[in-house]
Structure 1
């Protein structure tokens, strides 16, 4: 599998089957914040994301936001609202923050999944950390200016890819 290929492609976070994660032996779910859990143009996660995370916790898995967002207050507030741990200033695609989250949770790479909305940060970081990856569609068209540039190249990288749930 290439650096920029996800293990799975799913239309949105709430469509990722919690039961399938459990069946696959996942203990730790790493999540991007912006446009994966919280739309970039909103302050709070949608109810369906909150409900999905409640099912993750009820199934005995740990969840952790791993965000490149440098606004620690935003990331910590979202983590608190969602009832998850967090690592900010992640510097994805570098895998260090993912590995730190795994150490904190006591989870091995083969028991961890990274779910995010960007190929060149979330998927690449997950692959470099040796974890399974799930790419979801971004929740909002709103992005940072440089993310819009990356999205152009993402569209090329995703040619021919089908997302479950679309």
Structure 2
């Protein structure tokens, strides 16, 4: 499929960070479940602790009646489970994104369909592709840290091509969205 508005690599929305996603907009769109990537989306890879702003956002999300579930490719199940507990989320680990199966499992567990679900992540070739293959809306956020696994750094080069010209909500011109790390 050619890159364009129907590309499996294009997100529905681009927002600078998780905590800048407007919850009222999600509610108005009928979203009942937010599937969240863990590493560098909710939890910076260089600190392994969720920032207060992300925790507060998740609290507001729950207050609005929207459920959250972590979908993580991370194979350190203990770390992922600890993050899920810290964030008050359910979790599907060993997600194997970009395969859509973990998104389907999470939706089935939560009793919602694709039209009521959005996936939020920091990687085009895992999170956004998985969401598009699962038939849900997608939101790409900037990674919280510059620290990534070696193979993710390679994927980031391809992402730069896919993201050429894309503007992220909540970010000024020229901002990278990454913290120094």
TM-score, normalized by the shorter chain, greater than 0.5: yes
- CA-based RMSD of the aligned residues comes to 0.4
Say which of 124, 130, 133 aligns to 2:135: 130
Query: Which residue pairs with 2:48 in the alignment?
Result: 43
Instruction: Give the match for residue 82 of structure 2.
Output: 77
Q: Where in structure 2 are the equivalents of 1:113-152 lying within 5 Å? A: 113-152=118-157
Offset of 1:146 from its aligned partner?
0.3
Per-residue CA distance 1:41-67 (angstroms, 9 max, x = gap): 112100000000000100001100000
Partners of 2:96 and 2:87 lie apart in 1 by 22
1:111 to 107, 111, 116: 116
Supply the distance in 1 between the matched residues of 2:46 and 2:165 (Cα, whole angstroms).
28
- Unpaired segments of 5 or more residues in structure 2? 1-5, 172-181
Give the paired residue count. Answer: 166
Match for residue 178 of structure 2?
Answer: none
TM-score w.r.t. the length of structure 2 is 0.91
Runs ≥4 residues deviating over 2 A: none
Per-residue deviation, 1:96: 0.2
Q: Which 5+ residue runs of structure 1 have no aligned equivalent?
A: none
Task: Select 1:94's aligned residue among 91, 94, 99.
Answer: 99
**How many Å apart are 1:138 and its aligned residue?**
0.2
Larger Rg: 2
Report the 3-state secondary structure (helix = DSSP H, G, I; strand = E; otherwise coil) of the residue aligned with 2:146: coil
Tell me the alpha carbon deviations over residues 34-90 of structure 1, each in whole angstroms, 9 at most, x when there is no partner.
000000111210000000000010000110000000000010000001100000000
